[in-house]
Chains A and B, each alone.
Chain A
Amino acid sequence: MSGSAVSVPLGDNSGVLPRRATLIVFAASAIASALISLALGLSPFVWLLFTGLIGLAGITVWSLAVEGRRRALDRVMSVAIMEVFVLAMVPLLSLIYTVVSKGLARFDSEFLTSSMRGVLAEGGGALHAALGTFIITAVATVAAVPVGVLAAIYLVEYGKGRLKRSITFFVDVMMGIPSIVAGLFAFALFAIFFGPGIRLGVMGSVALAVLMIPIVIRSAEEMLRVVPNALREASYALGVPKWLTVLRVVLPTALAGIVTGVMLAVARVIGETAPLLITTGSTTSTNLNPFDGRMANLPVYVYQQYKFPGVPPEPYIERAWAGALLLIVIVMVLFLAARLIARRYGVEIRR
């Protein structure tokens, strides 16, 4: 007994909680608050809240009693930070939960393989809208990426003085353009040539490209900037001209980052509804030609199904949720692909 007293001269309390103390406390508090919620008939959200509060109180008291003030404070802080993080995740999880639970009802093979052609109430699908979304976004990407990457190359490698400053400024301005304004711009542009009744898939692409360009410029600029100057110098010192250095040293080094940025820009605009509503129109059948008439797409499809249901409304509402789920799945896949590309092909840049 005297031995243990001598060996811990520091601190007011000598004990240490078991290794999984936090886990134990939170498991206990989860069970406790489950009992309370069941007894009072409360919602799962309140259960989560109770679990957090009881757990925090429990670990505080236990740690204070056994470990002393300093360690108790440390535990309180780490637990509190974790809980705030969980709190921040609640809206996201709730959103995903809602969309998945309501969307699964119609997320079937018919939904993924048929259009709305001739569908009056039950059945039907979103194939035409999904294809439309792919085509519209692909055309927008093909238009926006070269412009964006070249502008970024100009800004990082060549730009000087006033022109560079004004381009940077206008990119900032473009960044802030509301998406409906981009849609109106595309609409007005095509209305000049084809009259105000015009609706084309490519009009939507133009609107989306306007939204994508500043995002691509920004991310590509960032990626080009982190390419170490030492690599450019190494290339110049080998007698390689500047344009070849940019093309064959700087761009490849930044490539994975630029591709990731493009993916994120695509994910950002693929769910845009407002600009597409006024530019692409909507249709019930598949149209694969962006230069020929109305083109369905997922955001507008979801909007239409939800906003203008027939009688009875249930099949329409269910299709709307399934469409939303499909859109979320597509965005998730894009994010994952971006991650994967960055990890797989990203070159480690050392300073």
Chain B
Amino acid sequence: MNLTNTKKEIEMADVEAGSSDAILEPPKPSAEARQVHAQAKRIDAEKLNIYYGDFLAVRDVTVSIQPNKVTALIGSSGCGKSTFLRSLNRMHELIDGAHVEGKVLLDGTDIYAPSMDPVLVRQQIGMVFQQPNPFPTMSIYENTAAGLRLNRKKMKKVEMDTIVEKSLRGAHLWEEVKDRLNKPASGLSGGQQQRLCIARATAIEPEVLLMDEPCSALDPIATLAIEDLINELKKRFTIVIVTHNMQQAARASDYTGFFNIEKSGDPGVLIEIDDTEKIFSNPSLKETEDYVSGRFG
């Protein structure tokens, strides 16, 4: 599948959903409702330039990220993968002086429109970080429910219990922690903590899940567990994952985008994005070919 082809699919999806200019709304309360039409939202970046102060870190990215698919972003260190990822849920602007130009559309709605509240954007586009970062003051249960509790969602205990169990099951963690839900999360292993962070991110039912090298702090077994999980999560979410690990991109993703950088100090550019299979077997650009076959640097 090439880019134009993809575009067509999206337009069709649009017509189906009939909501290309739907307004962002808080996470949907009912998980069941989501499962009936498990269509997550898609993201389109248009001519996105991303800055740290005056420094242009990522240049001119135009890309469509497919709903309910896993899109992997690869590329060497410092070419702007994290920067791009963080601009997709407005985490980028938390850094002093950081700003973007261009548009990011979530199902057609520009998340950078002046009327858009970044807090609501982040409720729809969740994120999992490189280092597992559960809240150290909270138990496993509280961590899973953190998105709801911190936002002071009024909710019955049974309802909350249901969401926590569902999220932990969804993150393949329930069986391991169900007997110690009230113990601190710091007692878990690194892999378990990362799955807890995934449970925490999914508990507020976002549309999109961004993952920035979620496995790079984990051992191979924990990594495989997370990859399995990702494969299942795409039924409910649109997933964008940054990875350093080429096998991981090949195993776990449907599409793969390659970020490149001419030389140090230049902005990173998304030079190619396509079916994962094509990127790893027969990419159209020589730079991509060099990178995926290990001839880079």
Contact = CB atoms under 8 A, between A and B. Distances in A.
A238 B126 contact: yes
A239 B124 CA distance: 8
Given A248-B150, A249-B150, A238 B133 contact: no
A253 interface: yes
Interface residues of B, number: 29
Interface in B94-128: 94, 119-124, 126-127
B129 A234 contact: yes
B120 A253 contact: no
A239 B117 CA distance: 10
A252 B136 CA distance: 9
A41 interface: no
A239 B120 CA distance: 6
Contacts of A240: 119, 147, 150-151
B215 interface: no
Given A230-B131, A240-B147, 14 more contacts: A228-B133, A231-B133, A233-B94, A237-B89, A237-B126, A238-B122, A239-B123, A239-B147, A245-B150, A248-B150, A249-B135, A249-B137, A253-B137, A349-B136
A234 B197 contact: yes
Given A244-B151, A248-B150, A348-B186, A237 B127 contact: yes
Contacts of B200: 234, 238
B136 A236 contact: no
B164 to A, nearest CB: 14
Contacts of B151: 238-240, 244
B146 interface: yes
B150 A236 contact: no
A236 B297 CA distance: 35
Nearest to A252: B137
B246 interface: no
A241 interface: yes
B209 to A, nearest CB: 10
A240 B197 CA distance: 15
17 contacts: A230-B129, A234-B135, A234-B200, A235-B135, A235-B146, A235-B150, A236-B94, A237-B91, A238-B200, A238-B204, A239-B122, A240-B151, A248-B150, A249-B137, A249-B150, A348-B136, A350-B136
Given A233-B91, A347-B136, A348-B186, A238 B129 contact: no
Interface in A209-241: 228, 230-231, 233-241
B135 A233 contact: no
Contacts of A249: 135, 137, 150
Nearest to B90: A236
A253 to B, nearest CB: 5
B119 A241 contact: yes
Interface in B78-94: 89, 91, 94
A234 B133 contact: yes
Contacts of B133: 228, 230-231, 233-234
B195 to A, nearest CB: 14
Contacts of A253: 135-137
Interface string B15-59: 000000000000100000000000000000000000000000000
Interface residues of A, number: 23
Nearest to A253: B137
A10 to B, nearest CB: 41
B72 interface: no
Contacts of A236: 91, 94, 122
Interface in A302-347: 347
A238 B136 contact: no
A238 B146 contact: yes
A347 B134 CA distance: 12
A237 B122 CA distance: 6
A309 to B, nearest CB: 54
A236 B151 CA distance: 11
Interface in B136-189: 136-137, 146-147, 150-152, 186
Contacts of A252: 137
Contacts of B131: 230
A84 to B, nearest CB: 38
B204 to A, nearest CB: 6
B150 A244 contact: yes
Nearest to B94: A236
A350 B132 CA distance: 11
A241 B197 CA distance: 19
A233 B210 CA distance: 13
B201 interface: yes
Top 6 nearest A-B pairs (CB, nearest first) are: A239-B123, A238-B147, A237-B127, A230-B133, A239-B122, A347-B136
A160 to B, nearest CB: 8
B217 to A, nearest CB: 12
Contact of B123 (A228, A238, A348): A238
Contacts of B134: 234
A347 B185 CA distance: 11
Interface string A241-284: 10011001100110100000000000000000000000000000
B26 to A, nearest CB: 8
Point out which of A235, A239, A252, A347 has the most chain B C-beta atoms below 10 A from its C-beta. Answer: A239
B237 to A, nearest CB: 14
Nearest to A347: B136
A159 B146 CA distance: 27
Nearest to B186: A348
B135 to A, nearest CB: 6
A233 B27 CA distance: 19
Contacts of A348: 136, 186
A269 to B, nearest CB: 29
A248 B153 CA distance: 14
